[in-house]
Amino acid sequence: MNSIPFDTLLKVALALVLAPICGGLLTGLDRILTARLQGRLGPPLLQPFFDLIKLFGKEPITSNRLQRAFIWGHLAMTMTSLGLLVMLDDLLALTIILGFASVCLVLAGFAVRSPYSYFGAQRELMVLLSCEPILLLFAIAYYLDTGSFLASSALALKTPLLAALPLAYLGLVVALAMKTRKSPFDVSTSHHAHQELVKGVTTELSGRYLAMAELAQWYELTVLLGLIALFWPRPLWVGVLLALVSYLALILLDNASARLTWRWMVRTSWSVAVSAIVLNMIGLYILRR
């Protein structure tokens, strides 16, 4: 067995505990900001935690076992990807595992014969189709700059990643918007009231299973913000600031735009975001020649 140093394990454990706290606080911040933008006072900062604890305490009802298994898988895979990020491991592996986490959520939606859940799952699949190329291309662009897929190599760079990959950064922010279901990309489910699909892919989840999906969402948010922080890892606070600013920008976008169709989403992702990263890669080739 490859010996994993004890302090790495400790770091992973710490991250697994801290990430939901970060994710929850960010979600609370999101709700307050959104309320303020709508001229309301909004909930307290700790509101997402109350929601989560309440959900864990509710009667567990689900539609079937398969759904439960896939929700467990969804949470587990998201946590695994966070573990990989903390261990500064392979970004490509991380992307693939994060993708599989989404697959689990989609299958949890499909596993119930429910019209809303089914629609939501179809749309979540489209989100996956839109995100996956962006994230994979980001990993490849990262490799082109650093010469390795390991996240640790970003720390060794003299100039921050952002200088070499500004367009890839933009692409990643678009992926973040899709993964966190911010308008105009909130096609599969949404925290807002404008939801003709009821709650989309999470419609049939309730109690602790809904809480687990929410928790996975927080982990996912942390992972993606962590990826953004990699763009400026030295000193780390600049990277964290960059991630926070990106997230704030997305909250503004969320409130300033309407939800658009999934077709539009796929088209935007595959044309604008993907070509942004590709342009960035071409630029790298030309500059490094």
Partner 1 sequence: MNHTHLIALLVLSPVAAGLLCALIRVRPLRIATIVIEALLLMACAGLLFREGAFELTLDPEVGHRGRMAITVLDFAILLYFFFVGVARRHLLAILLSLGQLVPLAVLELSWGNAPGATPTVIVDHLAIVMILIINVVGSLICLYAVSYMDDHEHHLGLTRSRQPRFFLWLLVFLGAMNGLVLANDLLWLYFFWETTTFCCYQLIRHDATALAETNALRALWMNLVGGVAFLAALMLMGIRTGSLGLRELTAQAVAGPLGLLPVCLLSLAAFSKSAQVPFQGWLLGAMVAPTPVSALLHSSTMVKAGVYLILRLAGAVSGSVFGAVVAIYGAFVLVVTSVAALMRSNAKSVLAYSTIGNLGLIILCAAINTTLSVAAAVLLTIFHAISKGLLFMSVGAIESRIGSREIEDMDGLLERYPWLTAVTTLGALSMLAPPFGVLMSKWVALEAVPGFGPKTAALPISLLLVCGSAVTIVFWVKWIGRMLSTRPVREQKPIEKLSVFYNAPLALLLVAVIALAALISPLMKLLVLPSLGRGGAGLSAGFASIETSVGAFSTWPMLVVLGVFLLIPALMLRRNHIKARSAYMCGENIGDQPAFHSLADQPQELRFGGFYFGQVKTESRLMTWSTIIGVLLLVISFWVAQ
Partner 2 sequence: MGLLSLARVRSPWLLHFDCGSCNGCDIEILACLTPVYDVERFGIVNMGNPKHADLLVVTGPANRRSARVLENLYEQMPRPKIVVAVGACACSGGVFHACPNVLGGVDKVVPVDIYVPGCAARPEAIIDGIVLGLGRLNGNGKRDGAAAPGQS
Sequence letter at residue 119: F
Give which of partner 2, partner 1, none residue 43 binds (C-beta under 5 to 8 Å, depending on kind): partner 2
Closest CA to 82 of 243, 216, 242, 261: 216
Which residues are paired to 150 by β-bridges?
90
Tokens standing for 270? Answer: 């595959």
CA distance 117 to 108: 9
**Sign, CA torsion 95/191/104/114:** negative
CB 218 within 8 A of CB 209: no
What does DSSP assign to residue 41?
-
Shortest spacing between CB 225 and partner 1, in angstroms:
22
Q: Which of residues 82-121 bind partner 1 (CB under 8 A)?
A: 83, 89-93, 96-97, 99-100, 103, 106-107, 109-118, 121
Distance CA 112, CA 153 (A): 43
By a kind-dependent CB cut-off of 5 to 8 A, residue 144 interacts, out of partner 1, partner 2, none, with: partner 1
Which range touches partner 2 (CB under 8 A), out of 16-24, 47-55, 75-83, 132-140? 47-55
| Contact between 220 and 182 (Cβ < 8 Å) | no
Q: Which of 8, 22, 25, 42 binds partner 2 (CB under 8 A)?
A: 42
Interface residue with partner 2 among 67, 188, 203, 217 (CB under 8 A) is: 203
Residue 102, helix vs strand vs coil = helix
Nearer to partner 1, 152 or 257 (CB): 152
166 binds partner 1 (CB under 8 A): no
Q: Is 1 in the site for partner 1 (CB under 8 A)?
A: yes
Which residue in 140, 170, 238, 260 binds partner 1 (CB under 8 A)?
Answer: 140
Is residue 62 involved in binding partner 1 (CB under 8 A)? yes
Binding mask 5-44 for partner 1 (x = CB under 8 A): ----------------------------------------
Question: Which one of partner 1, partner 2, none is in contact with 29 (Cβ closer than 5 to 8 A by kind)?
Answer: none
Neighbours of 110 (CB within 10 A): 20
